Amino acid sequence: SAADPGALRTPIVAVLGHVDHGKTTLLDRIRGSAVQEGEAGAITQHIGATAVPLETISDMAGSLVDPTDFDLPGLLFIDTPGHHSFSTLRSRGGALADIAVLVVDVNDGFQPQTEEAIDILKRTGTPFVVAANKVDTTPGWNPQEGEPIQRSLEKQSDRAENRLNENLYELIGDLSGKGFSADFYWRVQDFQSNIGVVPVSAMTGEGIPDLLTVLMGLSQRYMKAEMAVDVAGPGVGTVLEVKDERGFGATLDVVLYDGVVREGDTIVVGGRDDPIVTEVRALLQPRPNAEIRTEKRFERVDEVRAAAGVKIAAPDLDEAMSGAPVRVVRGDDVDAVKAEVRKELARIEVDTAEDGVVVKADTLGSLEAMANALEEAEVPILRAEVGDVAPRDVTVAQTANEEHHRVILGFNVDVLADAEEALERTGVRLFDDDVIYQLVEEYEEYVEELER
Ligand code: GTP
Ligand code: MG
Ligand code: NA
């Protein structure tokens, strides 16, 4: 349990890869959920977190895993968005993680965001395995629901197996081109110097027992020393989302990646103006195997130990920003922790220009992603902020010199009633969407129309 002194820290496993290669579906398969089906545009927009206990892992892995071999409490999976604009979110995902699963569609092979994910893993020195996903789409495949991959391969025709192997060898070649020596995972002895490739299907569950076994082995063998360090220190985390909860007001969904947070602790959180100092009123933990992004029922607990997804209820969180750091103050003085949080925030600021568009987004991560997408499209930004569209945003947009800059681009945000009025009165155009590339495309089409 979380209160165990000397307990090992739960390893954080980031799931990375190109858009639609099956990251969320893979996690759905492991936790027995259907998060992917509820996503806008079938695209993951925000980082998620799911604690999968050792029991679930050993149930799924069946004969491949002996739970008595492991003393890790389980794995905390971090789902990340694959769309190309989310490089900064992924980078933080990569940096947060102890190990990673790089999901690659076996038919599609290496794609730009696969390469980008590899660059992030290389830069952060994160050990990883490759899940070669969608093996069930191999022509002539004979699906073997939930079976280990070797057992499934025994049931395939030579033709199907050869087709799959061609794709897998191509993948191994591409990894080698990136400077990694890789092989089928069952041939890998040392997972630190060689990348194991695990053929899987998120759809049929084939190969999932193997993937979980490799992840447990990798964490257990190479991470144990790290996992035992600093589990009882002051908690450190990242805000995934700020959400209103009935009876609590604004709350934080947090990935706690280090230390412990307790009810009554003083915490410092990145806010829209200055860091917020407040006191933890309640800690709400998602059920095991639940995605914190979609969880409805939380359990109230006295303390939470890293790594974990946790909802923190505290006063004065309205101005807290998604993507901001959160730190427990214990021993250190509040000002030192505030300074630390300010420093972390300064690293994620958006460049603005003299003239340009106004951008509003729901999280620091998506704001950064918007800024990257707009930079790529050569659209300058006058102001970029986290939050709903307010009348003052309209006032700022109105001051832009060029007509095509008198716009507000809103990603995943609401428009306040007064702002609707101001938009009508001033003729400032609002574009809003919950898929970034569509939002940018809509704006580009508008600019083209103006030029005609
Ligand atoms: P983003 O979050 O948008 O980057 O995508 P993702 O990597 O999470 O992929 P997602 O889980 O949304 O899956 C994309 C599509 O591939 C969905 O239609 C899934 O049903 C399908 N899919 C995922 N895994 C498999 C698989 O193993 N086999 C087959 N046949 N389809 C799969
Ligand atoms: Mg997804
Ligand atoms: Na998707």
Is residue 317 exposed (0-12), middle (13-18) or buried (19+ Cβ within 10 Å)?
buried
- For the CA of 27, the closest atom of ligand 1 is 11
pLDDT of residue 92: 52
**CB-based contact 73:2 (threshold 8 Å):** no
Spatial CA neighbour of 374 closest among 333, 342, 327, 407:
407
Kindly report which listed range (40-49, 220-229, 266-275, 359-368) carries the lowest average pLDDT score: 220-229
pLDDT of residue 252: 96
Average pLDDT over residues 409-419: 94
**CB-based contact 341:320 (threshold 8 Å):** no
Tell me which of 178 and 323 has the higher pLDDT.
178
Structure-block tokens of residue 308: 């974990």
Q: What is the pLDDT of residues 184-206, one digit of tens each?
A: 999 998 887 899 999 999 999 99
Hey, how many other C-beta atoms are within 10 angstroms of the C-beta on 129?
23
The bound ligand whose nearest atom lies closest to the alpha carbon of 199 is 1
What is d(CA 152, CA 83) in angstroms, rounded to the nearest whole number? 32
What is d(CA 421, CA 59) in angstroms, rounded to the nearest whole number? 56
Average pLDDT, the chain: 90
Tell how far the Cα of 256 is from the centroid of ligand 1, in angstroms: 27
**3-class DSSP assignment, residue 103:** strand
pLDDT of residue 3: 42
Atom 28 (ligand 1): residue with closest C-alpha? Answer: 134
Q: What is the pLDDT of residues 347-378, one digit of tens each?
A: 666 788 999 999 998 878 788 888 988 999 99
What is d(CA 127, CA 191) in angstroms, rounded to the nearest whole number? 8
Tell how far the Cα of 168 is from the centroid of ligand 1, in angstroms: 18
Percent of the chain with pLDDT over 70: 93
Identify residue 2 by its one-letter amino acid code: A
Cis status, amide bond into 7, omega within 30 of 0: no
DSSP state of 244: E
Average pLDDT over residues 389-394: 97
Look up the ipTM and state it: 0.99
Q: What is the dihedral of CA 269, 44, 145, 153, to 10 degrees?
A: -100
Residue 90: CB within 6 Å of ligand 1? no
- For the CA of 43, the closest atom of ligand 1 is 3
Q: What is the pLDDT of residues 133-166, one digit of tens each?
A: 999 999 999 999 999 999 999 999 999 999 999 9
Antiparallel, parallel or unpaired: β 407-411 and 308-313: unpaired
The H or E element spanning position 298 is strand 298-301
Is residue 33 exposed (0-12), middle (13-18) or buried (19+ Cβ within 10 Å)?
middle
Tell how far the Cα of 233 is from the centroid of ligand 1, in angstroms: 38
Tell how far the Cα of 245 is from the centroid of ligand 1, in angstroms: 31
Helix ranges (H only) for 391-435 are 391-398, 417-426
What is d(CA 36, CA 278) in angstroms, rounded to the nearest whole number? 35
N-terminal to C-terminal alpha carbon distance within the chain: 65
Contacts of 29 (CB under 8 A, 6+ apart): 202, 203, 205, 208
Q: What angle is formed at CA 327 by the lines to CA 325 and CA 331, rounded to 5 degrees?
A: 155
Residue 291: CB within 6 Å of ligand 1? no
Helix ranges (H only) for 195-315 are 208-227
